[in-house]
Each structure stands twice: as C-alpha cells, then as structure tokens.
Amino acid sequence: MTGQAALTPQGSAPATEPRTAAPTDWRSDAMRRRIARRYAAERRFKVLGLAAVLLSAGFLAFLLVTMVGNGARGFTRTQIALPIDFQRSAMLIDPALLKGDTAEQALAGANLPAVIDTAADKAFGEGGARMISPAAQAAVRKAILADPAILNGTATITVPASEGVDLAAKGDGSAADETAVARLKQAGALSTGLNLRFLTASDGTDPTLVGIWGALKGSLLTMAVTLALSFPVGVFAALYLEEYAPRNRWTDLIEVSINNLAAVPSIIFGLLGLAIFLNLMHMPRSAPLVGGLTLALMTMPVIVISGRNAIKAVPPSIRDAALGIGASPVQVVFHHVLPLALPGILTGTIIGMARALGETAPLLMIGMRAFVASPPHGVMDPASVLPVQIFLWSDEVGRGFIEKTSAAIIVLLAFLLTMNSIAIYLRNKFEKKW
Amino acid sequence: MADMQHIPNAKMSAQGVNVFYGDKQAIKDVSIEVDLENVTALIGPSGCGKSTFLRTLNRMNDTVAGARVEGRITLDGDDIYGSDMDVVQLRARVGMVFQKPNPFPKSIYENVAYGPRIHGLAHGKADLDEIVEKALRRAGLWDEVKDRLHESGTALSGGQQQRLCIGRAIAVEPEVILMDEPCSALDPIATARIEELILDLRGNYAIAIVTHNMQQAARVSQRTAFFHLGRLVEQGPTTEIFTNPREERTKDYITGRYG
C-alpha cells in the first residue's frame, strides 16, 4: 500500500452478484452418506481410544496383582516359639556385663548359635536346628536385653523360621520341609508375623536374613545427589539458553547436543561415570555419590528440555509488564518467569528422577552390584540401590529370594509413587490461576 | 514532514528517529515531542509504526532481536540511548501500559507494590501501604478493591485489570506514561473509565497514547500525531488535526475513508 493510490473510498466496492447456482441440498443422499460416515468415524475413534485405555489399565492391573500377590508374602514371616533352657545351656555369660554399653559385646561372645541349635534339637527332635533361621540370634539377643532375668530359667522366645520352613508354611516347600511344618504345627509352635527385619536390614546370604533398608537408603542418597546436582544445573542451563543466550550457530549446536544427550542409552552414561569418576577422579566404588553423579548426567538434559519448554510457555506479556516498570532482566527471570515456569520444570524433573530411580545399567558399571550387608552411612559408603538389589535377588538360587524380589519391587514402586505424589503436590502448589 | 511545532521544555523529544527490524525499516525520520500539559495521541492505520515508535521511547524495542534505533530521543535533555543512561532506570521513569491488561498472577497489592519494592522507593511496610493506596486511588481503582487487596489481580474484570496496570505504572512515580492502545481489549464502559483516568492524570505525567479509535484520540488528547507507513504525516493540536488537517491523507483517515 503506498500513499493515495491505496485508498479505496468506502461504498464503492462492487455489489455482490446474485447467486445463480442451485441452493445446497442438505438432505441429498450424498449428504446423508457423508453424515453417516462422520458418525461412524467418531464411533471408531471412541472405541479405539477406549480399547487403548483398557489395555493399559489391564497391564497395570496385571502387574500390580502379580507383584502384590507374590510380594506381600515377603513382608510376613513364619515364626517358631522356641523354648530355651538357659540354666542348662552352654551359655557363657556374666550377667553383670548385661548392663549398659557392654551388653551387646557380652552377648556376641556368648555362643548364642550353639545355644539356639541345642534348644531347637531338644524341642523339636532331630533336625530341629535346621528349622530355625540364622536371624534367630538377633531375636534371642533382643529378648535377653529386654529382660536379663530370663537367663535364670526357661523362656519361650519367638524366633523366625528357616527359609525351607517358611516356604513350606506358605505352601511352597519341599517334602522334607512339609513334614517339619506338620511337626511344628502339632507342637503348636508355628505362627505368622510381620517381617520387620525386611524393612530394617540390608542384603544377606539367607533369604530370612535379608532386608531392603540398605538398598532403600542407598537409593535415597543417590537420588539426593542426583537432584542436588541436576536440578540447579538443569534449571540454570534452561534459563540461560532461553533468556540470555544469543541465537547463533553455537547455541543451536548446544541445543542439538542436549537433545541428543537425552536420548543416549543409559549404559553409556555408566561407562562415562566409570571412566571419569572412578578411573580419573578416583572416587570410591559403589558409592551413592558416584551413582548420583552418573544419574545426574543422565537426568540433566531431561530437566533442561522440559525447563526450556516451561520457560517458553510463560506469556511474553508478563515479561513486558515487568520490564515496563523497570525490572532488570535478572529480576524478570527470578521474580516472574521462574515462578511461573516452576510447575512445568517440576514435571520434567520428576520424569527425569523417576527414570533415574529405576535405572540399573549405569550403576552396574560403577560397581554398585557389590554385596553390601550394611546400610550406607553417607554418600561415600558402599551401597546398593533398589533396582540393583532387585536385579541381584532375582539372580539368587534360593527359592526364598523369589518373594523377596517381589517385595523389593513393591518397595521400589512405593518409593516412586511417593516421589511422584510430592512432585504433584508441589506442582499444584506453585501453579497459578489465571 | 509537516510542521515541527516545537514545544519548549518538552519532557521527551524525538528527533529524526529511524527504527529498523533487521533490514526492514519500520519508522522513517520521525520527530515528535511529549510534554506534561498535553496528552499526545498517536493515530494511524494498522502497521503504520505507531506502537513501534512508542516502544522506542522506553527502549522496550531493545528486547526485540534485530531491532535498531537511529536518531536522538531525549528525556529532560538526556539522550536515552546514550551510554550513561541506565535502561532499567529509564523504564521506571517512563512507565508503560500495554494493549492487553497484563497484571502479574499475584495479589492486587503485590502487583502495585512490586515496582516500588524493586526500586527501593518505600521505607517500611506502612510506607509501602501508603504508596499502594495512593497509586490505586490515582488509578481510580481503590474503592473497588480496598477490601480485597490480597486477592489475585487476574481475578478482576478486564477494565479493572487495565486500571490496575495503570496503578502499577503510577506506583513507581514515572515522569512519562506510554499507553499502547490501552482500551482495545475493553468494553465501552471500561473504556470510558480509562479515558476519564487519562484526563485526570494529565498535568502530572507526560502522556503518550497510541489508539486506533479516532473518537478516543479526539476525547483524551490535546495533541495528535498521524502516522502512515512508518512516517509521521502530520502533527499538531488535536482540534486542528480533526477539523482542519493540512494533509490529504490525514483527512481521508480521520473521515474514515481508510484505516
């Protein structure tokens, strides 16, 4: 449009010519067929969608039912009421030492395993010792500490049954163990209780001894390291790239690299962690610190990508408003853009963290498949993590480990669910109503 | 170029301004002045560059990639594109109200208090309360919101939101207020309230308003500048522009022959 030439006086537009074509027949056969096809397409779409939803729901239900069905037994244990005659046992202990700090030490040297084996053989006949789990020691020790007076006579202490008896009592044992269970039932010594040890102990050699706490704590520490590193780095990288970085070939290259990084198979991150953190920086093997750092490398690109999308989604009018009253670019970012983008960033973070929590391969590369029988006390201690623990137990020969594996999966899923719930809570908290 | 009609002691003055977006020139050699006594209306058909020009006055165009400004724009005689001008301070002194009401998704109070807070204008909570009340009173919103200052600013009606944005701009005590089609998203009643407000604010602030609505320009402004295709075609007292324009194009536009 240039100058006067473009000015068209109003009212001089050509009048619309009268229509000469026949009016549309909305009731013709062709029309009806078109309508029928439209309705059919809509029905097909609905049915397909519903089928997809039902299929996923079915898989989920199958997974949950199998896991809970198998795993629930991992949280219970078969117990045997074992009468022990401390007076006539081969117990070597000075009752005076049972007070204060020396108690644990005194009991450790008191030859408890022999005492228990003798008592079991005496109570349930030949082979009685094999019905009792090695975990019985801890139960007896606890009972003595709680009431040292029982040492003066006979006491009946409830102790965990051995792997074989436990399986047989749960209806999945060998013929020999079935007889043992029958014998114990006859003696009225059998009961079922909650397996608290599973929630408080670490890995072990006997399925009645093992617990998930060591792996759970290892996962917690690893996730803490991952979050502490990947969240700030990811968010700052996203903010810089979206708000400050000039658009040029270098930033394009960085963007492509980050997108590619998010798609790199996790085992490669494990090799990277092995090469850098263990071989180059000589950090301890199997440590949550190294695991966390390795997983952070993997999680960071996910946070950067989701963060950039969330930042992009903040309406420009809010930036204008803040700049317009003299907010500096940093104030615009931290007072307005970041709070508004936070729900989106958190969603991305939780997706990344959930993936990291379930990751096994890279952790195997940095030595986290070691047998660790005590929970880690810090990020430098050797530790296991939940998915690796599940992997290790699923590889065990002992049949008692099957239910432990399922129980560990339940714990992992519960952990995941808790993490997601916290993220959803935080997201809803920060979400602004417009 | 039509007459310069130089205004002595103008608050803001633009001389020979050119604006480029990349290779495209959006503003061609525009000279204009904004003063305290007069509300200056910038009118013209869509895409004529009036909004672009307005955004050069508080350097909001700096945020657009590839935007380049030539010429001299001064605030109280100081070059706003000069090296000793801080752009953040400039935007506090030259406030802006946008086309679409854009309150922060925070409470009404926080919306108004934000500016004074980041510029350190308030000394203590009581002082800040006073600044907020004063700004909302000036914006003609106080009576409607005084009982719900801590409700979200985005829950207000469109007209109230726009007055909140004006209050937010006023709260930092600007010297100039730029309004970019402030009523284009509002109904006639809300528009009337904003227009009254503009008349109230005149004299305290130098005001420049971009508008599509010729009646609005006639009602609220004392000086009018007509833009067409990036050029300033004509400027002068509003009454003169509307009753006796010198340029044929101006006449055609204000009589509604194109737009």
Decide if B51 is inside a domain: yes
Number of separate domains in chain B: 1
Which pLDDT score is estimated for B29?
Answer: 93
Quote the percentage of chain A above a pLDDT of 70.
94
In this predicted model, which residue has the larger pLDDT, A183 or B192? B192
A11/A23 Cα distance (integer angstroms): 28
Cα-based torsion angle of the residue sequence A355, A356, A362, A363 in order, rounded to the nearest 10 degrees: -130
Q: Which of B88, B169, B171 sits opposite A328 (nearest CB)?
A: B88
* B104:A1 CB<8 A: no
Residue B236 is part of which domain span? 12-254
Residue found under tokens 């609905």: A46
Classify residue A333 by its DSSP letter.
Answer: I
- Residue B114 maps to a domain: yes
CB contacts, 8 Å: B171 with chain A: 325
Query: Which neighbouring-strand residues pair with A132?
Result: A161
Nearest CA in chain A to B110: A335
Model confidence at A433: pLDDT above 80: no
* CA terminus-to-terminus distance, chain B: 21
- Collect all residues of chain B within an 8 Å Cβ-Cβ radius of residue A3: 229, 249
Q: Which residues of A touch B58 (CB under 8 A)?
A: 324
Average confidence (pLDDT) over A179-187: 83
Q: What is the pLDDT of residue A101?
A: 72
Cβ B118–A6 below 8 Å, yes or no?
no
Q: Residue B125: inside a domain, yes or no?
A: yes
Percentage of chain B modeled with pLDDT above 90: 68
Chain B residues with a Cβ under 8 Å from any Cβ in chain A:
58, 60, 63, 65, 88-93, 95-96, 98, 100, 102-105, 114-115, 118-119, 152, 154-155, 165, 168-169, 171-172, 229, 248-249, 252, 256-258
pLDDT at A6: 44
Domain for residue B46, yes or no?
yes
Q: Is A86 helix (H, G, I), strand (E, B) or coil?
A: coil
Residue in this structure with the two tokens 């004392």, named with its chain if needed: B222
Q: So what's the pLDDT on residue A1?
A: 39
Q: Is residue B3 part of a domain?
A: no
Best interface-test mutation with B: which of A242, A325, A431 has the largest number of B CBs within 10 A? Answer: A325
- Range with the poorest average pLDDT among A191-205, A210-224, B141-155, B242-256: A191-205
B60–A6 CB contact, under 8 Å: no
**Mutual orientation of helices A386-394 and A213-239 as an angle, nearest 10°?**
140
| CATH number of the domain that residue B104 is part of | 3.40.50.300
- What is the side-by-side order of every strand in the sheet holding B94-97? B78-79, B67-75, B12-21, B24-34, B231-237, B223-228, B39-43, B206-210, B176-180, B94-97
Question: What pLDDT score does A48 carry?
Answer: 97
Residues of B in contact with A321 (CB under 8 A): 98, 102-104, 165, 168
> Which of B91, B100, B154 is facing A325, going by the closest CB pair?
B91
Domains of chain A: 84-194 (no CATH), 213-430 (1.10.3720.10)
* Confidence band of A85 (pLDDT split at 50, 70, 90): confident
Report the gap between the CA of B223 and the closest CA in chain A (Å): 23
**pLDDT exceeds 60 at position B1:** no
Of B96, B100, B152, the CB nearest to A324: B96
Chain A hits for B90, Cβ within 8 Å: 326
Average pLDDT, chain B: 90
Inter-chain CB proximity A432 and B114 less than 8 Å: no
Phi-psi region of B181 (alpha: psi -120 to 50; beta: other; left: phi over 0): left
Is residue B12 within 8 Å of residue B33, measured between CB atoms?
yes
Q: Tell me whether residues A434 and B98 touch, CB distance under 8 A.
A: no
At A3 the pLDDT is: 43
Q: Is the pLDDT of residue A318 over 50?
A: yes
pLDDT of residue A12: 46
Per-residue pLDDT averaged across A152-164, rounded? 86
Report pLDDT for B192: 92
pLDDT at A17: 58
Confidence of residue B259 (pLDDT cuts 50, 70, 90): low
Looking at residue B8, what is its pLDDT? 67
Chain A residues touching residue B258 (CB < 8 angstroms): 6-8
* Mean confidence (pLDDT) of chain A: 86
Q: Which of chain B's residues have a Cβ under 8 Å away from the Cβ of A2?
A: 229
pLDDT at B225 over 90: yes
Between A98 and B112, the more confident residue is B112
Give the nearest chain B residue to A246 (CA atoms).
B65
A22-26, A59-63, A268-272: which range is least confident on average?
Answer: A22-26
Selecting from B100, B118, B258 the residue whose C-beta is nearest the C-beta of A327 gives: B118
pLDDT of residue A434: 53
* pLDDT tens-digit series, residues A215-262: 999 999 999 999 999 999 999 999 999 988 888 899 899 999 999 998
In this complex, which of A3, A9, A321 lies closest to B98 when CB atoms are compared? A321
In a domain, B5, yes or no: no
Rounded CA-CA distance A383/A35 in Å is 65
Rounded to 10 deg, the angle between the B158-170 and B188-201 helix axes is 20
Q: Please answer yes or no on whether A7 and B252 come within 8 Å at the CB atom.
A: yes
Q: pTM to 2 decimals?
A: 0.81
Mean pLDDT of B49-54: 91
